[in-house]
A = this chain, B = another copy of it.
Amino acid sequence: MNNFEFKNPTKIIFGKDSIEKLSKEIPENAKVLLLYGGGSIKNNGIYKQVKTALENVTVIEFGGIPANPEYAVLMEALEVIKTENITYLLAVGGGSVIDGTKFLSAAALYEGHSPWNILTDNIRTEKGLPFGTVLTLPATGSEMNSGAVITRAETKEKLGMGGPGLFPEFSILDPQVITSIPERQLANGLTDAFTHVLEQYMTYPIGALLQDRFAESILQTLIEVAPRVLKDPTDYEAASNFMWSCTMALNGLIQKGVPTDWAVHAMGHELTALFGIDHARTLAVIAPSHYKYHFEAKKEKLAQYGERVWNITEGSTDDKAYAAIEKTEAFFHELGINTKLSEYTKDYEGTAETISQRFTERGWLGLGEHKNLTPDKVEKIVKMAY
């Protein structure tokens, strides 16, 4: 096990009808900017619940934050924060709205030349404008971590940011919200959380026995509840386990003391930036090829995952490892998620070279747990995913 530090101060308020507890979490004299996305919260009742809970504080609204939170839109929100002297941010939405809010939390107190530099210069935010979240879509885990990914359409870029100042002060998780989520987004959420765990687990054995079992626990739970969530989003037992699994998948716990990969995300982000493919689906496209390409380096963990999560008991380590990749791909298919780039776009030719070139330009020469994912390997993996 590697040395690690772990601190996660976010307060989780989880359960049925928990949105009404919002009023106790925001300081009485706060001036709140309520941030949301495309407006679905106005149709599913969440907006009304939030507004009712906030009736004793001053609230200004900023809607329209798109999936893959767009820098240009966020800069408009930043203007509102400054003009209106906002003191507290409240994200009501999924990962995109929460990630956008984290960017705003950082940018509101950033003193540099341009807030875009927070992303390009990897500036860690030690202190941001305080914020909380009401989660409307289980998937990214952003509600209990301090990271965010921001997109800039102008340059077709998608970059990460973070820092200890960017944990939500609280996050409200009411599993009942999933009853109004379209099946496509539920499948995305399941895939996203599943892949988050894989990124922190599918590396090489390092004797972190407990972390391995926790990671496997989340994968097992997601596999168990996935068909139930898709079949009947009103199944509260399935919904609550889905929601809590998504949060635990990326709140920092399972990555402590172990090597992590994150190369699937790095390549997947490019597919979103280039083609607008849903984030989770890009992960399902890249992951199987990535694991096949790095089979030798990852086969011990692949086999352990096959044994413990998929109950694959027959065959050699290689057999189990390979079968585990096939099981993973089949799981994505059962969720209705395609795993080949050509199923999403006809314009896939040249994508591998483009992404490889972008990695070269950014100087990304050493991603992955062995820090050896060079652009030529990226090119091969993306091609395998066509």
Contacts and interface: CB of A to CB of B under 8 A. Distances in A.
A367 interface: no
Contacts of A225: 209
A75 to B, nearest CB: 32
Nearest to A248: B210
A5 interface: yes
A257 B244 contact: yes
A14 to B, nearest CB: 5
A156 interface: no
Q: How many identical chains are in the complex?
A: 2
Contact of A217 (B16, B213, B256): B213
Interface string A195-231: 0000000000001111101101110110011000000
A357 interface: no
A381 B375 CA distance: 66
A13 interface: yes
A5 B18 CA distance: 10
A10 interface: yes
A345 interface: no
A122 interface: no
A207 B240 contact: yes
A16 B207 CA distance: 14
A6 B11 contact: yes
A1 B241 contact: yes
A244 B4 CA distance: 11
A244 B253 CA distance: 11
B14 A3 contact: yes
Given A14-B256, A217-B217, A210 B244 contact: yes
B3 A18 contact: yes
A10 B6 CA distance: 8
Interface string A1-35: 11111111111111110100000000000000000
A11 B5 contact: yes
Given A207-B237, A224-B209, A241-B207, A4 B8 contact: no
Contacts of A256: 14
A146 interface: no
A343 to B, nearest CB: 31
A8 B5 contact: no
A12 B7 contact: yes
A210 B245 CA distance: 7
Given A207-B241, A245-B210, A14 B4 contact: yes
B213 A1 contact: no
A211 to B, nearest CB: 8
Nearest to A5: B13
Given A7-B9, A9-B9, A241 B210 contact: yes
A325 B77 CA distance: 59
Contacts of A15: 1-4, 257
Given A6-B11, A11-B7, A1 B207 contact: no
A245 B214 CA distance: 11
Contacts of A11: 5-7
A371 B236 CA distance: 25
A174 to B, nearest CB: 9
Contacts of A18: 3
Contacts of A6: 11-12, 14
Given A6-B11, A213-B217, 10 more contacts: A3-B15, A4-B15, A6-B12, A7-B9, A7-B12, A207-B240, A209-B224, A209-B241, A210-B245, A213-B221
7 contacts: A1-B236, A4-B15, A5-B11, A7-B10, A9-B9, A15-B257, A213-B220
Instruction: Please give me the 5 A-B residue pairs with the lowest Cβ-Cβ distance, nearest first.
Output: A3-B15, A213-B217, A207-B237, A7-B11, A9-B9
